[in-house]
Structure 1
């Protein structure tokens, strides 16, 4: 692709096998994952998902993830854009990692204060589980968060100046708006489902995001259909 992307993001679930119940299969999947991406000539950004540390993460599963893939949450600047990468599983189930969850929350509060103070032209949050799939008022289901924590976190993001959130987890495309803050859900490269949630889908692809001075533009492409050059007009 020309110009070459700044980096590639995988919004969680790097592997399918869960760390505590399928360790042998996970070892094979991790080896395959690293072999596949070893030839990548741009940086690969890994976001922590529930399959990566377990639906109920432990100190051991998080430590294993960190040793294999790096930090489970972090922030960085790129091209004048500020990125915050969170570990969304802490908001789904932190029953066995209360201390780690509290450290993550303190760090995130500091990041949001930093965004308030520095006021980047664009501030983007990357996470695995979306706060909602299509509507901030939708009911709780396996693909989003409880409404109480969802409401609190969306307001925190918005008040800090965040206007863009990119997520995975849903195994189909989705997204919507909280006020003028856009949440984008991108389907998987592996297993996707139809909107009824039951029928396998062959819609495997990825999203290309263009960062412009006054906005972000994004388009989803099925594998093999993305353009080889990106226009900025």
Structure 2
């Protein structure tokens, strides 16, 4: 492990999330809750003009104090919770700078890993890759950089009888440079979806399939409609109950048949009227309930 990574332990290997014993965690163990956030995106506030993201150059005097403060505030709140959440999952855009935007990318990786290391060690941190983490047009090297810093770009795990599946959603928006990796992702996904023995199946990803309606038009924040409908039907047929996403920097969501997709706003910069915060998700034997909280309103107990 490199010097940079000593304060942040990568916790995925061979497409599995290491903190949970897969065999033991397949059994239902009673109600629990977890925390879902998205888009810490260190550096975006500084670069946002109100309508677009300013291009950067190495001479810029960029900072990301706002996002660091917001992320740290969430972690401080989670550390105070009793009982502790089963895990804290960040659904993509952990950093803002792309792989080629140096020196900012390296500094953002170092800073966010330092903040993540402040999370109570009894709360596993699950990282999901976003478009800024692996690139709008990902390459083998941009994906590998993410893996080296934050763990596998897709994987699955069992927690308390629930099957949690983490996707690399960037494969569904641009995969021209990595078609072989996308194929491996799809073969893996088909395999893990075969296991229907768990109480619930939950998908986690960065880019939503849709924002409000499964048949809406394509725009920057969703996935092309033919791909979208194909994947939504695949998930529904496999028994997926919920899909949790980020990317939109606003809270929204909708349903496809009996399956709900939940889009959670950013921990960092808001593009709507929501406040920085996270979503608390309560899992019972028969249901999955969720509620979004601004950071300052997070309760100490959610069970």
Q: TM-score, normalised by structure 2?
A: 0.72
Could you tell me how far apart the structure 1 residues matched to 2:144 and 2:111 are?
A: 20
1:161-176 matched pairs, under 5 angstroms: 161-176=239-254
Distance in 2 separating the partners of 1:69 and 1:23? 18
Confirm whether residue 96 of structure 1 aligns to residue 177 of structure 2. yes
Residue aligning to 1:31: 110
CA positional deviation for 1:94: 0.1
- Work out the number of aligned pairs and report it: 221
User: CA offsets per residue over residues 183-221 of structure 1, 9 Å max, x none?
Assistant: 000000101112xxxxxx561111000001110110100
Report the Cα distance in structure 2 between the residues aligned to 1:114 and 1:99, rounded to whole angstroms. Answer: 24
Partner residue in 2 for 1:193: 271
Provide the residue aligned with 1:148 in structure 2.
226
2-structure distance, mates of 1:205, 1:31: 22
Consecutive unaligned residues in structure 2, runs of 5 or more: 1-80
TM-score (norm 1): 0.93
What does residue 35 of structure 2 align with? none
Q: Could you tell me which residue of structure 2 aligns to residue 10 of structure 1? A: 90
Name the CA distance, whole Å, in 2 between partners of 1:77 and 1:205: 25
SS state of the match for residue 192, structure 1? coil
Alpha-carbon distance, 1:23 to partner: 2.6
Does the CA contact (< 8 Å) of 2:280 and 2:302 recur in 1? no
Matching residue of 1:215: 287
The structure 1 residue matched to 2:148, chosen from 67, 82, 91, is 67
- Verify the 8 A CA contact 2:251 2:274 in the aligned structure 1: no
Please list every run of at least 4 consecutive aligned residues from structure 1 whose deviation after the TM superposition is greater than 3 angstroms: none
Matched, 1:77 2:77: no
Aligned-pair CA distance for 1:48:
0.6
Aligned to 2:19: none
- Residues of 1 paired with 2:182 and 2:302: CA distance? 40
Q: Distance in 1 between matches of 2:116 and 2:169?
A: 24
Q: Which has the higher relative contact order, 1 or 2, with Cα contacts under 8 A spaced 6 or more apart?
A: 2
Q: Aligned partners of 1:23, 1:72: CA distance in 2, in Å?
A: 21
Q: Which runs of 5+ in 1 are unaligned?
A: 195-200
